A and B are shown apart, each in its own frame.
Chain A
Amino acid sequence: MTNLVLAVRAHRFETLAVGLFAVASLGGAALVVVRLMAYGIPASCFRGTGPSLICQGLSGDMDAYLSIARDWGFFALAGIVLLPIVSGLFLGIAMAGKEIDRGTTVFAWSLAPSRRRWLVQRVAPAALAVVVAGLIGGFFGDQLEALRDPGTDPATTFGHLGLRGPVIAGEALAVFGLALAAGAVLGRILPALLVAAALSVGAIAGVNLATDAWLHHETVAVLGVDDVGNVQPSWRVVDYRVLAPDGAIITWNEAYARYGDPGAPQSSGGPVMPDLKTVLFVNPGEIYPLVVARMTLLFAALGLAGIVLAFAVVDRRRP
């Protein structure tokens, strides 16, 4: 415990900066959530399916609610998105890179029989802190998602995928691990910060691209949704196609090539487009928890890889 307190004091600036940012972003998100919940407007009013008498009486509140949800909700979500990056980078660099840069590892490593134990004593609480902050941020992100689009279940909708829920904690661990590894390898604060930031952006982009690619292959075909209004909010629509009379699923471009443009005058003598059924390729909301779990695990794996690399480097490098 004494070591933890001393480690916090030795890295006062980073701890304070991360603490203030966490309080500001999480506190801001919590305020917005509490403020929106305090309105107590039934979700059915926003969907236009609620009792008209009650909903009409709440129209002023609904406007104010939507204004707060749109404006302050944006800032709250931005804070939550930045939280894992700020906390991971600052604490990750401080744990090894800053110590090596300042030469204080000479003090620690000449006294500690085990460098691994020294690093564990520092990394474990810091990693726990960024993950817990990420989990709280992710929780508020889910709450904001539900409140910004009343009536939706954040656990079965793809809105703001990767910007809320446990993914934030995974992201925080990934950024922390990459920053820790960059600091251990480079041993300089500024270069490590720049490299860690670039690696983190690459990791976040990579995981999102991989998720997009996977989701593209995990679509379900839904027939007979000809009106956009019938598209369920929980669906993540990947592609619109059409069902040809011969049973083939073709793209709209192929349909135009085969049957002509339905908007063109019929007197042109071209083929007449038959009554085509729309086929939607969607990711159903039911798989959202699975997708989130996969993204979280990917980020966590990246973070753990960074931590393992940092341990290997610290064990071998000169102070």
Chain B
Amino acid sequence: MPIVVADQLAKRYGRAEALRAISVEIEGGGVTALVGPNGAGKSTLLKLCVGFERPTAGRVTVAGADPTRDRAAAIRAIGYVPQSPTLYRELTLAEHLQLAAGLRPGFDLAHASGRLDDLGIPESSKPGELSGGQAAQVWLAIALGTRAPLLLLDEPLANLDPLARREFLQVVADAAKANGVTVLLSSHVISDVEPIADRLLLLADGRVLAHDTIEATRAAHRTLRRGADGAERPTTGALVSVFPERDGRLVELRRVEPGTPGEPSTLEEIVLGYLASVRPARRLAAA
């Protein structure tokens, strides 16, 4: 059963279109990697889900509730971690947990406190004493403390060092597996979120380019490298795009029928291929 449903969802900021009438259903359970370049519409989609933005057209529902019409029901279903994990600089972390408990009915103070304890972050600390990674972990602990069925994580890894990323992702993966929480984790780097992702939702230019399970996505794509020798290679399936590798060689991404022989593409190749398919259009539009 889908936990997030977007139906012809559009959002415009002035003349800029952040989302262009997208329709997508995100199934409950597991981790969905929401991937796309800067300005793809990832944050906008998450903000629309949490009721921080209002759609220009169409609608989105979270656990059956429309955040615009029934914000309370939508918020109760969501634990949110923003891109900039801002905290009250005057309050200690313990006070943040108390504040969260006062704001959210049913907040699991012990669970959130336990998470901070596990990470070795003292509750007596103030936000000014935390690193970016620790601040993100505090937000995640609070989001988990809500015991909400859906976690919306808006590029939480952007400012974290590799070790902090790993710790963060481990907590997210554990929550998804142990508690059956659905996670929508946005990032502009697929390799960051690939280790724990079950599904891929690829956005660019406010459009959905790909949305399926990781396995199905990989199974449905093949990457063909054009050799320097100019040797002929079998071409099957629909061409998604041709894009250059770091060494200058051109690579074809093709969408194929499941079961087509050959090595499935990597997620990075798939993402690059789809992004390359829209980049020229963007350049043309800009021109």
Give the B-binding residues of A (Cβ under 8 A): 2-3, 6, 9-12, 102-104, 106-115, 118, 316, 318-319
Structural contact, B75 and A104, CB atoms closer than 8 A:
no
Set A2, A12, A108, A110: member contacting B90, Cβ < 8 A: A12
Structural contact, B100 and A6, CB atoms closer than 8 A:
no
Structural contact, A6 and B99, CB atoms closer than 8 A:
yes
Distance from A124 Cβ to chain B, minimum over Cβ atoms (Å): 15
Q: Which residue of B lies closest to A113 (CB)?
A: B72
Q: Which residue of B lies closest to A319 (CB)?
A: B52
A-B contact pairs, 12 of them (CB 8 A): A6-B91, A10-B88, A11-B90, A103-B84, A103-B86, A106-B52, A110-B75, A110-B78, A111-B100, A113-B105, A118-B103, A318-B52
In B161-216, which residues have CB < 8 Å from any A CB? none
Other than A107-B100, A318-B53, give 6 A-B pairs with Cβ distance below 8 A.
A2-B98, A6-B91, A10-B91, A11-B90, A110-B52, A111-B104
Distance from B163 Cβ to chain A, minimum over Cβ atoms (Å): 25
Instruction: Enumerate chain A residues within 8 angstroms of B89, measured Cβ to Cβ.
Output: 102
Instruction: Enumerate chain A residues within 8 angstroms of B73, measured Cβ to Cβ.
Output: 113
Give the A-binding residues of B (Cβ under 8 A): 47, 50-54, 71-73, 75-76, 78, 80, 82, 84, 86-91, 95-96, 98-105, 107, 142, 146
Instruction: Enumerate chain B residues within 8 angstroms of A115, measured Cβ to Cβ.
Output: 71
> How many pairs of residues, A versus B, come closer than 8 Å at their CB atoms?
75
Structural contact, B146 and A114, CB atoms closer than 8 A:
no
Instruction: Enumerate chain A residues within 8 angstroms of B142, measured Cβ to Cβ.
Output: 107, 111
Distance from B152 Cβ to chain A, minimum over Cβ atoms (Å): 9
Set B47, B53, B84, B95: member contacting A9, Cβ < 8 A: B95
Whole-angstrom CA separation of A11 from B90 in the bound complex? 8
Structural contact, B72 and A111, CB atoms closer than 8 A:
no
Structural contact, B82 and A110, CB atoms closer than 8 A:
yes
Structural contact, B86 and A102, CB atoms closer than 8 A:
yes
Whole-angstrom CA separation of A25 from B95 in the bound complex? 32
Whole-angstrom CA separation of A107 from B141 in the bound complex? 13
Q: Which residue of B lies closest to A4 (CB)?
A: B102
Whole-angstrom CA separation of A101 from B181 in the bound complex? 32
Structural contact, B75 and A113, CB atoms closer than 8 A:
yes
Distance from B83 Cβ to chain A, minimum over Cβ atoms (Å): 9
Whole-angstrom CA separation of A111 from B97 in the bound complex? 11
**Considering the complex of A and B, which 9 residue pairs feature the smallest CB-CB distances, nearest first?**
A113-B72, A103-B86, A110-B80, A111-B103, A3-B102, A112-B103, A111-B104, A113-B75, A10-B88
Q: Which residue of B lies closest to A110 (CB)?
A: B80
Instruction: Enumerate chain A residues within 8 angstroms of B82, measured Cβ to Cβ.
Output: 106, 110
Structural contact, A107 and B86, CB atoms closer than 8 A:
yes
